[in-house]
Amino acid sequence: MDKVFIEGLEIEALIGIYDWERRIRQPLLFDLEMDFDNRKPAASDDIADTLDYKAVSKRLIEFVSQSDYGLVESLAERCAQIVLDEFGVARVRLKLSKPGAVRGARAVGVIIERGAA
């Protein structure tokens, strides 16, 4: 299966379980790999036939910037579901990183895969 990807999508969000985290917006980084058959858009050269990564990015920016989750696990699950439900993607692999959350680590987070096996 072909893949369409978005790498390093940075979105500011209110996320975390500690009191200090509930008062500030923190940067989150998203990497997505989405299964999509690219033969039709390759043949037509028409954006209407593609998995429009700009539209996916805008939708996730809109959702995440307005969200208020405690756990990155919850946010990642909901974002994966949005991609599956709204963009006709059969399978998505989503990496959500929270930079600076742990001293000494560049980032921490989760990687999930959802959709058809």
* CATH number of the domain within which 20 lies: 3.30.1130.10
The residue annotated as part of the active site, out of 3, 58, 95, 98, is 98
List the chain pLDDT tens, one digit each, 117 residues. Answer: 899 999 999 999 988 887 877 788 899 999 999 999 999 999 999 999 999 999 999 999 999 999 999 999 999 999 999 999 999 899 999 999 999 877 888 899 999 999 986
Beta bridge partners of 5: 33
Q: What per-residue confidence (pLDDT) applies to 101?
A: 77
- Give the 3-state secondary structure of residue 98: strand
8 A C-beta contact, residue 6 and residue 32:
yes
Cβ atoms within 10 A of the Cβ of 11, count? 21
Cβ atoms within 10 A of the Cβ of 53, count? 16
Q: Considering the entire predicted model, what is its pTM?
A: 0.91
Q: Please provide the distance, in angstroms rounded to a whole number, between the alpha carbons at the two ends of the chain.
A: 12
- Domain with 92, as residue range(s), is 3-115
Beta bridge partners of 114: 92
Q: What per-residue confidence (pLDDT) applies to 1?
A: 86
Of the candidates 69, 117, 58, 115, the one whose C-alpha atom is nearest the C-alpha of residue 96 is 69
User: For the chain, how many structural domains are there in total?
Assistant: 1
Q: What per-residue confidence (pLDDT) applies to 117?
A: 67
98 belongs to the catalytic site: yes
